[in-house]
Structure 1
Amino acid sequence: MPRFALILLGLLGSTAASAETVVITAARMLDVVSGKIIQNPQIVTENGRITLVTTQDRHIVTDAKRIDLGNLTILPGLIDMHVHLTSDPALGFDADLRHARAFSVAVGVAMAGRTLDAGFTTVRNVGSADFGDVGLKQAIDERVIRGPRIVPAAYALGATGGHCDDNRFHSGITVDRSGVASGPQGFREKVREMHRLGADVIKFCATGGVFSARDTVDGQQLTQEEMDALVDEAHRLRMKVAVHAHGADGIKAAIRAKADTIEHASLADAEAFALAKQFGTYFSMDVYNDDYILAEGAKNGVPEENLAKERAIGLKQRQTFQAAWKAGVKMVFGSDAGVYPHGDNARQFAKMVEWGMAPIDAIRAATSVAAQALGRDDVGEIATGRHADIIAVAGDPTADVNVLRDVKVVVMGGAVVKDAR
């Protein structure tokens, strides 16, 4: 079948194709669990799920459609645990003021495609106004648009005047404050509302942030009681909780509340590391985007006060990443794409390696370990029962993680959705 037809078939997700047995072969496969390179793998899929993982000399499958990826190396589709698909920094810091509210969803359609083409077949979208990420998920699931599997958070939740409250304007301007709450019961109600309207994960802001106004990056913004109630309610609804937190006090309070992942974790200290290990909390640290913010932020219209926050915290975050990894904290791949351009997600792998990880550990953070943090057993590995989400690259990513920046082929649910060979 011609290459363009394969891509179109993957995009449209035809019923006939999904019901076929598909055999995928390549020169090599990275088993992310063992860290070993397997020669001449053969992956058998049915209805978009993997039914057999073997080698080409051990099992012959007849009457099957074949996808031969030649001299490439295959590995599981990548997982980014922290994206904002409905944002694009190149549009400018004030893009939300210059466009209709629906514009952000149109941006999300384009960014979802870029993300998929970059090899990220699953993402956790941790904050989107107007339930934009929920809509994107529905459109992708219904095969209306192309994009990765999305775990949506809908609105990020936060305190009055905090990082998740838009306080850029004076009292005469009304802004969307759908994620703002106060008090333990108020946050319980917000969790229930997000769940009712389609969120699959809850995200809340425990401390200040780089891009918010009138707060400090490290200051704690929710009480322990509020965090306890919020996380308890989310877990009662079988939802994971991601927590924006830069400062040590907010990080430790969120861990004590039994949150599942800490986002950014810039100023975590030794006590926070010990607590994370005690509670099994994962850190999701965006250690690449400091480069982009400081290089391009002013051109994109980021105010000086926000750039000053980034200059104060960027290096410290990378040092914390190194210390946390050495201390044995579990780490997942979270890029914060949307603060820097979508499609460049894989640039972060090199920074993770530069600051202490072995290449295979950085890859696991975006595959098997990320799947564990999501509580999912259907993504993150090339293994029986998982979605047939597979990417192919030239070379050995365990020797050079930068090859992940040039994904040649993306297979999602057993169908080719990108072929750039």
Structure 2
Amino acid sequence: MRLALLVAALLPFTAQAAGSVTIIDCGHVFDAENARLTGPRSIVVRDGRIESVATSVPAQEGVERIDLRAHTCLPGLIDSHVHLGSQTSPQAYAEGFRLNPEDHAYRSVGYAEKTLLAGFTTVRDLGGERTQGLRNAIDQGLVRGPRILAAGKSIATTGGHADPRNGISRELAASLGYPGPEDGVVAGPIEARRAVRQRYKEGSDLIKITATGGVLSFARSGDNPQFMEDEIRAIVETARDYGYRVAAHAHGEEGIRRAVAAGVDSIEHGTYMSDRVIALMKEKGTWYVPTISAGVFVAERAAQPGYYPEIVRPKALAVGPQIQRTFGRAWQAGVKIAFGTDAGVFYHGDNAREFELMVEAGMPAAAAIQSATRNAAQLLDRWDELGSITAGKWADIVAVTGDPTADISLMRRVGFVMKAGVVYSRP
């Protein structure tokens, strides 16, 4: 009986795509290549992919037709920085000692569905040790969620941000053993290469490093450099052998500079990015993923006594407000920007708040939407399949009522969600 109920629950989102044809009539379509609206268009979806986009399509017998003529249709949104395996709470630090992997796994299923229903059909999960399993379950149609590119365990240095032994007693640390490359903790270029190969062994889709201290880690500094440049270069070179891109968590100026100079593909957060670093990023073509939402959220919560440990609060209060200012400078300077939020540091499903914060900092609404479509797809090296409503690409389509290029707050109210030709939400 329980198996039958499970199968019945899965049918609505696993049995629709194969052999199906759907026509979607849109009042406007967002042209992600040129960051503008095209006017009325009809989209023909066949077997999960976009077959054609035209000004009009004749009625076809037996073919489902979805009326979104009062809506703007956009490519499925892409969040380039999430953590689906966790979510903020005052209990988060203690839960690390109490919860089991299956507890986190069950929670992540709900986080994934909230993300999808918010219009984010693809995400890059940066640092979840168990996210490969969630990715596989979504790909197999077992649970509802976005397409996931999973980094697996972040690569850190000994004692650095993402060292899993930070903040615990010596006795407990000794019982758990010294963390090494298999645990994502390295000291020197040789161990750095080994850690990349371990992530390949575990089935990761990309590599993430923690190039500087972190705001929420149980340590004093949130911005000190934590890798030597030769260690980062070893990671980047090894990653290239496996077709991996490298994302670098980095707050402090020197840590950002080392990561960019060593060839990483993206800087995440970039809080204290200097003019010198901005010039280097433009020279190297390095992407910037700002995560303003996380900065604003941690600053708000740090003002609440007891939400974060006392060692974390000063970092959150200092770093949080700075990220939005840095983003504005980077945008004005012409740095390549891809949308990313750090969801998990704040509540999953609230990802679209980032659009409003980007616009507040000076980015036009159309460019902000482009950052979550074309730009993010290019960063993920998936532009051939994602990021625009174009024939041949996956039918990842979302819609909002009205014109989001005129009112960016509409991005918080996605009413239609299709991923790979399957409808998950309707107006």
TM over 0.5: yes
- Please say if 1:404 is aligned against 2:411: yes
- Please say if 1:13 is aligned against 2:20: no
Which residue in 1 is equivalent to 2:5?
none
Which residue in 1 is equivalent to 2:242?
237
Matching residue within 199, 202, 209 for 2:207: 202
Please say if residues 87 and 107 of structure 1, whose CA atoms lie closer than 8 Å, have aligned partners that are also in contact: yes
What are the residue-to-residue correspondences of 1:3-402 with 2, within 5 Å? 11-14=12-15, 17-56=17-56, 63-90=62-89, 92-94=91-93, 95-129=95-129, 132-166=130-164, 167-174=166-173, 177=179, 178-297=183-302, 298=304, 301-376=307-382, 377-402=384-409
Give the Å deviation of 1:93: 2.4
Q: Deviations over 1:70-129 (max 9, x none)?
A: 411110110000000011113622222221222111111010000001000000000012
Separation in structure 1 between the aligned mates of residue 334 and residue 14 of structure 2, nearest angstrom: 41
Give the Å deviation of 1:239: 0.7
TM-score by length of 1: 0.93
Fraction of identical pairs, as percent? 39
Please say if residues 48 and 395 of structure 2, whose CA atoms lie closer than 8 Å, have aligned partners that are also in contact: yes
Give the Å deviation of 1:216: 1.2
TM-score by length of 2: 0.92
Secondary structure at the counterpart of residue 366 of structure 1: helix
Q: Structure 1 155/63 Cα, relative in aligned 2: closer, same or farther at 3 Å?
A: same
Separation in structure 1 between the aligned mates of residue 361 and residue 231 of structure 2, nearest angstrom: 34
Q: Which amino acid aligns with 2:154?
A: A
Separation in structure 1 between the aligned mates of residue 359 and residue 171 of structure 2, nearest angstrom: 48
Separation in structure 2 between the aligned mates of residue 29 and residue 300 of structure 1, nearest angstrom: 46
Q: Deviations over 1:22-80 (max 9, x none)?
A: 21112221212223322321111221011111112x66655533222241111011000
CA RMSD of aligned residues (A): 1.8
Secondary structure at the counterpart of residue 22 of structure 1: strand
Please say if residues 242 and 260 of structure 1, whose CA atoms lie closer than 8 Å, have aligned partners that are also in contact: yes
Unaligned runs of 5+ in 1: 1-6
Separation in structure 2 between the aligned mates of residue 342 and residue 316 of structure 1, nearest angstrom: 22
Q: Deviations over 1:360-382 (max 9, x none)?
A: 11111111000011111211111
Secondary structure at the counterpart of residue 337 of structure 2: strand
Q: Structure 1 125/267 Cα, relative in aligned 2: closer, same or farther at 3 Å?
A: same
Give the Å deviation of 1:254: 0.7
Unaligned runs of 5+ in 2: 1-7
Please say if residues 10 and 416 of structure 1, whose CA atoms lie closer than 8 Å, have aligned partners that are also in contact: no
Please say if residues 10 and 415 of structure 1, whose CA atoms lie closer than 8 Å, have aligned partners that are also in contact: no
Q: Deviations over 1:339-373 (max 9, x none)?
A: 00000000111110111100011111111000011
Residue range with higher mean Cα deviation, 29-38 or 142-151: 29-38
Q: Structure 1 245/59 Cα, relative in aligned 2: closer, same or farther at 3 Å?
A: same
Secondary structure at the counterpart of residue 258 of structure 2: helix
Separation in structure 1 between the aligned mates of residue 292 and residue 12 of structure 2, nearest angstrom: 32
Please say if residues 156 and 185 of structure 2, whose CA atoms lie closer than 8 Å, have aligned partners that are also in contact: yes
Q: Which amino acid aligns with 1:287?
A: I
Q: Which amino acid aligns with 2:14?
A: G
